[in-house]
A and B are shown apart, each in its own frame.
Chain A
Amino acid sequence: MNQLSSETFDKNAKAALADVQLRGALRHATSLFGKRRLEAARSLNNWEELRTHARAVKDEVLLHLDRYLETFVANAEKRGAVVHWANDGTEANAIICKLARDRNARTIVKSKSMTTEETHLNDALEAAGLQVVETDLGEYIIQLAHETPSHIIAPAIHKTKRQVAELFTSTLGMPPTDDVAQLTRTARATLRDRFAAADMGVSGVNFGIAQTGTIVIVENEGNIRLTTSVPRIHVAVMGIEKVIPRLADLDLFLKLLPRSGTGQRLTTYQSFITGTKRNVDDEGPDELHIVILDNGRSRMLAHPVTRQSLACIRCGACLNACPVYQQIGGHAYGSVYPGPIGAVITPQLIGFEKTAQLPYASSLCGACREVCPVKIDIPQLLLHLRSEITSNGSKRNATERIAFKLWAKVMVSPALYNLSSLAGRLIQKVMPLAPAWTRERDLRPIEQQSFRSLWKTKLSHE
């Protein structure tokens, strides 16, 4: 299993930079997504208004999340859904494994869900002796390759067409081809049988509507429709932040999400699921279970700056727009959620111990904030997390900490400032000042005469 850690971000990134195929795939996909997003946003004349409005809806929900969740749960239960609360990933996985065991469900189909990636549900199901098949094409590819998704909405974005063809040939016995239609047909044929045989379908949730208890899931392949309707049991896993107040709010988010994610005006399918089937003769699962997951989210909720992290609708636009992600892809982050939003939520979900490099994996260019459909100020969050990391008393940064203490002393004293500029001028004559800089870039030398000296001797008299 290709499992990278955030602790080794620097090393992972270097390996990614050396991978020519990966960089080609990333360059192609991120620029295409970026271009399509821009065109889709421009197709509406009120994009900025929609963003502002969507953020206001999210802020309102997050301010009264307990109330909206209670309403959502009450309405979902009224329609026959069974709601389970999970404090963390382990609890969520245990609930789902128990449901499967109690109901004698052996085979499980899954539709794409980052939340279940977060809880590592597949590992838990497999450890419980259950067979689980990912049914989203990208996720299926990843599962066959024993990898993890490298993008929030395009899990196999790092793979080229040729790599997928080779994978299908070796794992599914497909005759060698790089015809995309043939690849899709092969996956589809294999997956159809899995749907028919499955006892349980596990999905994520894009939106939970408090007013009606409805869960809404968007997709393009139809596999979610099948996952949530063919097996006799449907389990939907939903983060606490997914709830929105009213059905009428959905219009807003259905305009923003597909446009930001794939540049589509609307995804091919939108599934609205409200409770279980009304009559025994109706089609659809007998049971609907909704697992509502916290897993660190209420920590984000507690702080006024970090709260906005929960407004995220997982569109992936910030990944495509991020110059760092564009170069290294998602795996280098070593976290379930990669890219700018991943660098923001991962440390908050699992703590700084193994993730302290992530908030620094950004040039703070702000492209992520510019494309975010719910106006999350990701640079502000990165800066906030950096300040948390440095004030955590971690020993890792001892040298840096001392350097900044000295730096501050120099910057508040003109005498020390002038002295260090003199020192810099002298030192640069005998050794390079910044080896990390000069390996691949020339460094402009410190001027022989500073501006302040030029001002004193010349400019002020002109």
Chain B
Amino acid sequence: MKVSLFVTCLVDQMWTSVGAGTVAVLRRVGCDVEFDNRQTCCGQPAFNTGYRDEARQVAQRFIRIFEESKADAIVSPSGSCTAMVHHYPELFAGDKEWEPRARAMATRTHELSAFLVRVLKIADVGASWSGKLTWHDACHGLRDLNLKNEPRTLIRNVRGVELVELENAEACCGFGGTFSVKYPEISVAILDQKIEAIERSGVHAVVSGDASCLMQIGGRLSRNRSKVRVMHLAELLASQSL
């Protein structure tokens, strides 16, 4: 299957190993991966802050670029950015030209774990990693894309991994995009509930499907000099350390 990678601007700039991991996993399961280097952002920061004109400019460009791709699917290592693409029809509601194009784009765009489990019907990607870890349900993946079992299925099939559930796995980490800098104190207060649960659980690593949440969680763990590390699902699935 031919896949076009939507790597997201955050991963492109801040966390390249997530992009590299995504490519490695997709290739391992037999996909032919392409990357269009004209891509930038999905428009979410503007959309979430209320700047719809700006969000539309960026979204239109996204649609134009990926429409040119002959790939069977567009795959992204982010529940949040995928959810944004799924919001495109709402962003272009009533626009005769763009709403249908937005709808078609949304249908073709998948988050990594959803693509592996729902589209390719793969539960085991042949990964291995030694240790105890927990899954943080990033909000947009969980509530916009309904990803609950898909990432867990993939993680349980990673050899050497013990998956521990947090009591507040589904609770927000407090990131929320511009929320985290508009209201940093509230953002960190929310985050600390997550951090407490993570530390109590005794895991070696926190895994999630969004680099943004992992920057939030990892930023606090690092400030606290915690031994717990953060890892993106793509990095875990790419790992073959055993």
Q: Do residues B223 and A440 form an inter-chain contact, with CB atoms below 8 A? A: yes
Which of A367, A390, A439 contacts B50 (CB under 8 A)? A390
Specify the main secondary structure of chain A where it touches its partner.
helix
The reply on A450 being an interface residue by CB < 8 A is yes
The reply on B92 being an interface residue by CB < 8 A is no
The reply on A102 being an interface residue by CB < 8 A is no
Which of A385, A401, A447 contacts B16 (CB under 8 A)? A447
Given contacts A450-B13, A451-B11, contact A323 B46 (CB under 8 A): no
The reply on B204 being an interface residue by CB < 8 A is no
A387 partner residues in chain B, CB cutoff 8 A: 50-52
For window 23-37 of B, CB contacts with A under 8 Å fall at 23, 27, 35, 37
Closest CB in chain A relative to B130 CB, distance in Å:
24
The reply on B72 being an interface residue by CB < 8 A is no
The reply on B108 being an interface residue by CB < 8 A is no
Closest CB in chain B relative to A446 CB, distance in Å:
5
Q: Do residues A417 and B40 form an inter-chain contact, with CB atoms below 8 A? A: yes
For window 208-242 of B, CB contacts with A under 8 Å fall at 215-216, 218-220, 222-223
Closest CB in chain B relative to A417 CB, distance in Å:
5
Given contacts A13-B185, A13-B186, A441-B223, contact A362 B13 (CB under 8 A): no
The reply on A162 being an interface residue by CB < 8 A is no
Given contacts A327-B189, A370-B143, A450-B12, contact A414 B40 (CB under 8 A): yes
Q: Do residues A440 and B188 form an inter-chain contact, with CB atoms below 8 A? A: yes
Q: Do residues B187 and A442 form an inter-chain contact, with CB atoms below 8 A? A: no
Interface string of B175-216 (1 = CB under 8 A from A): 111111111111111110100000000000000000000011
Stretch at the interface among A132-140, A211-219, A240-248, A454-462: A454-462
Question: Once A and B bind, how many residue pairs between them come within 8 Å at the CB atom?
Answer: 187
The reply on A66 being an interface residue by CB < 8 A is no
Complex: A363 Cα to B97 Cα, angstroms: 32
A324 partner residues in chain B, CB cutoff 8 A: 186, 190
Interface size for chain A: under 10, 10 to 19, 20 to 34, or 35 or more residues?
35 or more
B179 partner residues in chain A, CB cutoff 8 A: 360, 362-364
Q: Do residues A366 and B186 form an inter-chain contact, with CB atoms below 8 A? A: no
Closest CB in chain A relative to B67 CB, distance in Å:
15
Q: Do residues A407 and B189 form an inter-chain contact, with CB atoms below 8 A? A: no
Closest CB in chain A relative to B241 CB, distance in Å:
19
A441 partner residues in chain B, CB cutoff 8 A: 188, 191, 216, 219-220, 222-223
Which of B35, B57, B187, B222 contacts A363 (CB under 8 A)? B187
Which residue of B has the minimal Cβ distance to A420?
A: B13
B193 partner residues in chain A, CB cutoff 8 A: 323, 326
B55 partner residues in chain A, CB cutoff 8 A: 408
Q: Do residues B54 and A444 form an inter-chain contact, with CB atoms below 8 A? A: no
Which of B16, B170, B180 contacts A454 (CB under 8 A)? B16
Using CB atoms and an 8 Å cutoff, list the residues of chain B in contact with chain A. Answer: 7, 9, 11-16, 19-20, 23, 27, 35, 37-38, 40-41, 43, 45-55, 57-58, 61, 90, 139-140, 142-144, 170-172, 174-191, 193, 215-216, 218-220, 222-223
Using CB atoms and an 8 Å cutoff, list the residues of chain A in contact with chain B. Answer: 10, 13-14, 17, 323-324, 326-328, 359-367, 369-370, 380, 383, 385-391, 400-401, 404-405, 407-408, 410-412, 414, 417, 421, 424, 434, 436-437, 439-447, 449-452, 454-456, 459-460, 462
Further contacts, 16 of them, CB under 8 A, given A412-B61, A414-B40: A10-B183, A13-B185, A14-B185, A363-B172, A363-B175, A383-B48, A407-B46, A407-B54, A411-B41, A411-B61, A414-B38, A440-B220, A441-B223, A455-B23, A455-B35, A462-B27
